[in-house]
Amino acid sequence: MLKKTQMAGALLLAGTLFLAGGCGYKTDPVPPDSIVPKAIDDLRYSVSEKGVTLNWTFPKETIRGGDLTDISTFDVYRAVVPLNDYCPTCPIPFSEPIQVTGGLVDPEKNRQGTYETSLLRSGHKYFFKVHARTSWWAASADSNIVTFIWHIPAKGPEGLSAKAADTSATISWQAVTSLMDGKQVDYSLSYQVLRSKDNRNFAAIGSVTSKTEFVDNSLLNGEKYYFKVQSVLNVDKNSISGGISDSVSVVPFDLTPPSAPSGVTAVQTGAGIKIFWEKSRDTDVKGYRIYRRGGNDKTATKIGEVAAVYAIFEDTNVDDGTSYYYTVTAFDKAETPNESVKSREASIRH
């Protein structure tokens, strides 16, 4: 009888231990801090007529500061709220995440994650956040949340043109009046100018403008630039990027002449008359032109040209007893050279 009682007690104790040991499986395991990535803090978005594109930087460290070698996946969470139902103080109703493949972490560069979607509904407010995962059970905390209102975008501008000037170009276009679906624009509209050197990779320059003209004063003469313009619809203080125009190219050119030489002096020699001057202070001077006017002439005629390294010219084609008046100009390295005004006249009688 005693043995049976002892056996029953042993079975009861074993069952109790089994249940106690099984309690650990009632909740998800907690990953160690050494593998949990830091939260993404630079989630950003761009909206176009095609939809929205999210970008972020791969985390490089764990929450303890250790190095990460790879990210297995990113969880992209999305919430959609009709504008009529939006409540600023209500919780954001994020849906189940969409998984985006991760990859190796580059310790030298900031590798970028990307997610694109065109499944957007007009008149709705969107919210996005992202988690980074190193495994199915080790995910980062929430990233920063980005939000925007989606609306049918405006068409891209037409009639784009560019006028070159000295280190600048003026870009102009026709006003946009229609949305992508053909309906008339019923919100205020702005424009964003885009610039490229290769006609492929365009970047926004300057601030958005409500005008249909933009002056870019940051160009280099002789370089070729490409421009596009994107329409931006302003809906309830939210910017909806719209269509983009065709590109137009322009090459700004130098229109500024160098300063005139100073200190022009004429000295008689045995062979003729030597003209000296002080060089122009400008760094893009290519050379100098020498002009001569006879005593009875109203206008001067060019009689020679020298490179910028020289500041002297000898006029050997002179007549005794004739008065001559000399002036010098500087010209630059532009494709069509810009010439300075003439210097003060210098003369000598012989």
| pLDDT tens-digit series, residues 322-343 | 899 999 999 998 888 999 999 9
Segment 263-291 mean pLDDT: 93
- Range 161-250 has CATH code 2.60.40.10: yes
pTM of the full structure = 0.55
Give residue 7's pLDDT band: very low, low, confident or very high (50, 70, 90): very low
Q: Average pLDDT of 11-34?
A: 52
Give the lowest-confidence range in 91-95, 284-288, 296-300, 303-307.
296-300
SS3 184: strand
d(CA 122, CA 120): 7
CATH no. for 33-150: 2.60.40.10
What digits encode the pLDDT tens for the residues 129-169? Answer: 999 999 988 999 999 999 988 888 899 999 999 999 999 99
The band of 296, judged by pLDDT with boundaries at 50, 70 and 90, is confident
Asked whether the beta carbons of 143 and 116 are under 8 A apart, the reply is: no
Residues 303 and 315: their CA atoms lie apart, in Å, by: 8
Among candidates 209, 154, 210, 156, which has minimal Cα distance to 186? 154
Model confidence over 120-134: pLDDT tens digits? 888 899 999 999 999
Residue 277 predicted with pLDDT over 50: yes
14: pLDDT strictly greater than 70: no
- The gap between the terminal CA atoms of the chain, to the nearest Å, is 151
List the chain domain ranges: 33-150, 161-250, 262-348
- Specify the residue for token string 């996946």: 73
182 Rama sector, left if φ>0, alpha if ψ -120 to 50, beta otherwise:
left
Task: Return the number of other C-beta atoms located less than 10 Å from residue 250's C-beta.
Answer: 21
Fold match flag (33-150 vs 262-348):
yes
Alpha carbons 37 and 134: distance in angstroms, whole number: 7
Gyration radius from the chain CA atoms: 38
**How do residues 176-210 score in pLDDT, each as one tens digit?**
999 988 999 988 999 999 999 999 999 999 999 99
38 and 59 in contact (C-beta within 8 Å)? Answer: yes
- 3-class secondary structure per residue, 93-119: CCCCCEEEEEEECCCCCCCEEEEEECC
In the chain, where does DSSP find H-type helix? 2-22
Side by side, the strands of the sheet bearing 324-332 are 301-307, 285-294, 324-332, 346-348
- The CATH superfamily assigned to 262-348 is Immunoglobulins (2.60.40.10)
What would the pLDDT profile of 29-78 be if each residue is shown by its tens digit?
Answer: 667 778 999 999 999 998 776 789 999 999 999 999 999 999 999 999 99
Q: What average pLDDT does this structure show over 291-320?
A: 94
